[in-house]
Structure 1
Amino acid sequence: MQAVEISAPGGPEVLRLVERPVPQPGADEVLVRVAAAGVNRPDVLQRMGAYPPPPGASDLPGLEIAGTVVAAGPGADMLIGRRVCALVAGGGYAQYCVAPMGTCLPVPEVLRMTEAAAMPETLFTVWVNLFERGFAADGDTVLVHGGTSGIGTMAILLGKLFGLQVIVTCGSDDKCTAAKAIGAAHAINYRDKDFVEAVKQITCGKGVDVVLDMVGGDYLPRNLACMADDGRHVSIAFQRGATAEVPIMEIMRRRLTLTGSTLRPRDVQFKTMVADELAKTVWPYVEGNRLKPVIEKVFPLAEAAAAHARMESGEHVGKIVLET
């Protein structure tokens, strides 16, 4: 099969198309003939040498795929012939990929394979962090940084479905306009406005119930200043630094909660549990044609380097996808 491997840590140019043996599924695993694979920030970090795959995972990048199941290991043969999308721990940038049966979701006819491939990573991430760890509920106001990223756009879309008022930050007026067109209630250009003051104005001084943060660093204390009493802060990345100074007394006085998580290292049992929850609570919206990802551009698998360069430019709105 053809696959894209990381020849050495570095820029997009280190991604190269190679021939690899087709992987074989083990117990409770399926082999998917990949039609499309999503491109995500962790892929970029892995390519740079900053985010190695967990033990036992493929060294190939790619955390989400969509395609047709062509073979299966013991316990998973009932999925042979099915169209699925799946969350995987690696190996998605290839014509064939092994996926755990438990992280597969059916691809309905209303969804193109490129759309299906753009969903698992962001959908699992937003569901776990915004709704489970952040306890976002109908009527809550939430602040999401990176509003036009894959995570940001998925948070907006799920927020619309589940009764949240979503406030996002973006790096340009054009991106703010795009975020509001997707469904954000408010979009703040952080380059020309203090987002803390803007959030206070939008919420009439109350603050937001949940912050979903992928920035970290000096944003963390500013995020706390945006939060309502009993607010929840969920960290999922730290693009501006992995450490921050926080006002402990403020956390105590206002009963704030700081939490966070990473998805890729979690075991298959946890990811299967999340997939089961999504199948019950979110997938009916997908099957009813009410939830589709925002896709910026689809690249051929052989142009993975160009896809990474596009992501690193920061100019994209929504997901970037590779098509095999």
Structure 2
Amino acid sequence: MQALQFSHTGDLAALRHVELPRPVPGADDVLVEVHAAGLNPSDVKNVLGRFPYTTLPRVPGRDFAGVVVEGPQHLLGQAVWGTGRGLGFSRDGSHAAYLTLPAAGVARKPAALGFSQAAALGVPYTTAWDALQRSQVGNGTRLLVIGGNGAVGHAAIALGRALGAEVLAAVRRPELHRKLLASGTPCLLLEQPERLGAQVREVFPEGAEVIFDTTGFWLPPAVAALADFGRIAIIAAPVDGQVQLPALALYRRGGSLVGVNSLLYDTLQCARMLEHFGAFFDEGRLPLPEGLLEIPLCQGVKAYEAVNAGSCEKIIFLPQAD
């Protein structure tokens, strides 16, 4: 089968388009024929050596959608999707024509989603779902999503609405600000950090009950925008991992921090998440992904280079198209 594979880390030149034997599933596994696989920034960082627990040689890729061709009878022929810890790190991932994983680690694909659409959602949507669930977002929650233009931010806005939250986005770029407003999403144009509290309280006079900072750079000013007993969820941090947190202000508000790391969840746990919010697509409560860039897997190395160079396009590999 064709696949992308790297045998050392530190340079994208390590990534190759290769032919490998088709994997053989274990007793409790399924073999999935991959119809579509998403490319995430973390896949690129994996090849660059940012994850010390990756074992080599390795096929990268976390997100996929496809059809079960070997495994338990009740799953044979089923269209499935999946993601989770291990894929692309300690076991071969989705950037290949086939992959194996535990049978309980796949979820049935929502009928409303095509294969490419499903493959685009795994990492960003499970990350956002985890952040909102652990921050107790529900009906009527005043939710601020900082960085609403990125994949995780976009997912958080959509999921927040599906859960009934009162959603407010915040972005830096004027064109994105205009785009979100035109789509019906209340949105702030981020200015100086010290202005964030006042900006948010113009919309939420009592502050945001939950703030999800998807950028990692707005944690200190976010405290001023927080409601009493509010929660701030974060998924990133400055390169050195340090931040000046106004702890006294956070303490006085009774606030709490929620660290969000999608790599804490294995494929079985992620499958349960996918089943939960996947139903929202079939119910019409979540918008279908648009603007995906579908390319054959043989062009995968160039796609990795594009993402590393800053491309924001959502790239989907089509292994069966080559």
Output the TM-score relative to the length of structure 1.
0.84
* 2:322 equivalent to 1:323: no
Alpha-carbon displacement from aligned partner over 1:276-301 (angstroms, at most 9, x marks no partner): xx52x423322234432344422321
Gaps of 5+ in 2: none
Residue equivalent to 2:178: 177
**1:225 positional shift:** 1.9
Alpha-carbon displacement from aligned partner over 1:213-246 (angstroms, at most 9, x marks no partner): 2333x53211222211111111222255422122
Q: 1:177 to 1:208 in 2, by over 3 A?
A: same
Q: Distance in 1 between matches of 2:218 and 2:31?
A: 42
Name the SS of the counterpart of 2:189 in structure 1.
Answer: strand
Residue equivalent to 1:117: 119
* 2:164 equivalent to 1:163: yes
* 2:302 equivalent to 1:302: no
Q: Distance in 2 between matches of 1:214 and 1:68?
A: 32
Contact 2:109 2:278 in 1 (8 A): no
Name the SS of the counterpart of 1:282 in structure 2.
Answer: helix
Alpha-carbon displacement from aligned partner over 1:26-71 (angstroms, at most 9, x marks no partner): 243211110111111211221221124567x982221110011111
Name the SS of the counterpart of 1:215 in structure 2.
Answer: coil
Amino acid at match of 1:28: D
Amino acid at match of 2:103: M
Residue equivalent to 1:35: 35
Over the aligned positions, Cα root-mean-square deviation in angstroms equals 2.8
* 2:279 equivalent to 1:284: yes
Gaps of 5+ in 1: none
Structure 1 runs of 4+ aligned residues shifted over 6 Å read: none
Q: 1:288 to 1:219 in 2, by over 3 A?
A: closer
Contact 1:176 1:189 in 2 (8 A): no
Q: 1:189 to 1:7 in 2, by over 3 A?
A: farther
Name the SS of the counterpart of 2:18 in structure 1.
Answer: strand
Q: Structure 1 residues 21-30 or 34-43, which shifts more?
A: 21-30
Q: 1:129 to 1:282 in 2, by over 3 A?
A: same
1:165-314 alignment runs, 5 A limit: 165-181=166-182, 184-189=185-190, 194-204=195-205, 206-216=206-216, 219-268=218-267, 270-272=269-271, 274-275=272-273, 278-279=274-275, 281-291=276-286, 292-314=288-310
Contact 1:156 1:182 in 2 (8 A): no
Q: 1:181 to 1:65 in 2, by over 3 A?
A: farther
Q: Distance in 2 between matches of 1:13 and 1:174?
A: 35
**1:129 positional shift:** 1.4
Residue equivalent to 1:2: 2
Amino acid at match of 1:316: C
Alpha-carbon displacement from aligned partner over 1:2-44 (angstroms, at most 9, x marks no partner): 1112354345554321112222222432111101111112112
Percent identity for Structure 1 against Structure 2: 30
Residue equivalent to 1:92: 94
**1:261 positional shift:** 3.0
1:11-160 alignment runs, 5 A limit: 12-53=12-53, 59-72=58-71, 76-88=72-84, 89-90=87-88, 91-130=93-132, 132-160=133-161
Amino acid at match of 2:316: V
Q: 1:13 to 1:201 in 2, by over 3 A?
A: farther
Count residues in correspondence: 312
Output the TM-score relative to the length of structure 2.
0.85
Q: Distance in 1 between matches of 2:261 and 2:255?
A: 21
Q: Distance in 1 between matches of 2:293 and 2:75?
A: 29
